[in-house]
Amino acid sequence: MAKTVILGIESSCDDTSAAVIADGILLSNVIASQSVHEEFGGVVPELASRAHQQNIVPVVDTALRRAGICRHDLSAIAFTRGPGLLGSLLVGTSFAKGMATGLGIPLVDVNHLHGHVLSHFVRENPDDAVPEFPYLCLLVSGGNSQLIWVKSPVDMEILGRTIDDAAGEAFDKCAKVMGLPYPGGPHIDRLAAEGDSGRFRFSKPHIPGLDYSFSGLKTSFLYTVRDGMRQNPDFVEQNRADLAASLQRTIIDILLAKLSLAVERTGARQVAIGGGVSANSGVRQAVAQFCAERGIRAFIPERKFTTDNAAMVAMAGYFKFMAGDLCGLDAVPFARVGV
């Protein structure tokens, strides 16, 4: 019988997810995605909250059943407190509070970004390799792009962050300019595999230090498409793959330039990536190659742990629970933070 069993709940955006971790090992991870947003070209907050309300009970129930765990076996409930959409976060937070109160067990609040950073510790098998502290993490998602020095599961220092758009936003907004559905990142990834990444040149930021910027790239992409369409109305149609490959290449170059600087400054011997954009084939390959060339150990997450999931929330919650870092019933969700 496991000693410490954590139920994790994630509802920060448009995925309702629940997972069970027992003594650090993942027993189940259930995700209900919301297709209702597709026709709107982005996540509609009010629709997301309603879908979470419909999904949360069956998702939690399925996670417990798949794990073979009775709710009375739970040691604590971990939930995503933020950052994210407030209405969505409220559903998970309220549910976690109600369930923990009913069972008389503690609550653990989890920063969604810490979850992504700690997703490398989610193991289905005790022999799976995990990073050793400290390590450098490149967190790239739809809302964040950060370089984080991870000293321990509960001690992380942000070395650099985006000063405007996140890498995922650059993928999604440029994809929208090309008429691709939301979220555009996976479509760019697929198209890029068939395109010439040297065909178009887009501007790269010149900002000092370890911060990122992606808004200039977005504008430069928009101008290229606008100018191309003035000459030829079928410009996007005829150059889809090359535009996608060139965009992806530029985003990777921007990410790697600062990653390289961060490795130099920290002397990191292990580099991990996390967040939705770490599902990108080009990013995965480029980081793996970057690390191989420098004899650095790379941690590239399984694709199922790159996007929002409760396994990473349960994992981060497990670490906090073991450190005695619990939260009260007065914990309220937050929409925005650093780390």
| Candidate list 91, 159, 279, 327; residue touching ligand KG4; CB under 6 A | 279
Q: Nearer Cβ to ligand KG4, position 186 or 205?
A: 186
**CA–CA distance, 133 with 136 (Å, rounded to integer):** 9
CB of 316 to ligand KG4, least distance (A): 14
Mapped onto helix, strand or coil, the DSSP state of residue 30 is strand
For ligand KG4, the closer of residues 99 and 174 by Cβ is 174
Which 8-state DSSP code applies to residue 306? T
Question: Could you give the count of Cα atoms lying within 13 Å of 181 in the half-sphere of its Cβ?
Answer: 7
Query: Judged by CB under 6 A, does residue 141 bind ligand KG4?
Result: yes
Our finding on whether 275 is near ligand KG4 (CB under 6 A) is: yes
Between 74 and 313, name the residue whose CB sits nearer to ligand KG4.
313
Please tell me the count of residues contacting ligand KG4 according to CB under 6 A.
20
Q: In what order do the strands lie in the sheet with 15-22?
A: 25-33, 15-22, 5-10, 76-82, 107-111
Sign of the torsion angle spanned by Cα atoms 164, 182, 109, 149: negative
- Does position 168 interact with ligand KG4 (CB under 6 A)? The reply is yes
Helices (H) and strands (E) in the chain, counts: 9, 10
**Quick check: 182 and 33 in contact, CB under 8 A?**
no
Report how far apart the first and last C-alpha atoms of the chain are (Å, whole number): 35
Q: Token pair 């040149």 is at which residue?
A: 201
Query: Based on CB atoms, which residue is closest to ligand KG4, 17 or 224?
Result: 17
Residue 136 interacts with ligand KG4 (CB under 6 A)? no
Question: Minimum CB separation from ligand KG4 for residue 93, in Å?
Answer: 17
Nearer to ligand KG4, 242 or 308 (CB): 308
Residue 308 in contact with ligand KG4, rule: CB under 6 A: yes
Amino acid residing at 138: L
Choices 72-80, 205-213, 216-224, 277-285 (CB under 6 A): range interacting with ligand KG4: 277-285
Cα 171 from Cα 247, distance rounded (Å): 8
Nearer to ligand KG4, 2 or 32 (CB): 32
301 contributes a contact to ligand KG4 by CB under 6 A: no
**8 touching ligand KG4, by CB under 6 A:** no
Q: Which residue in the set 10, 165, 172, 242 belongs to the binding site for ligand KG4 (CB under 6 A)?
A: 172
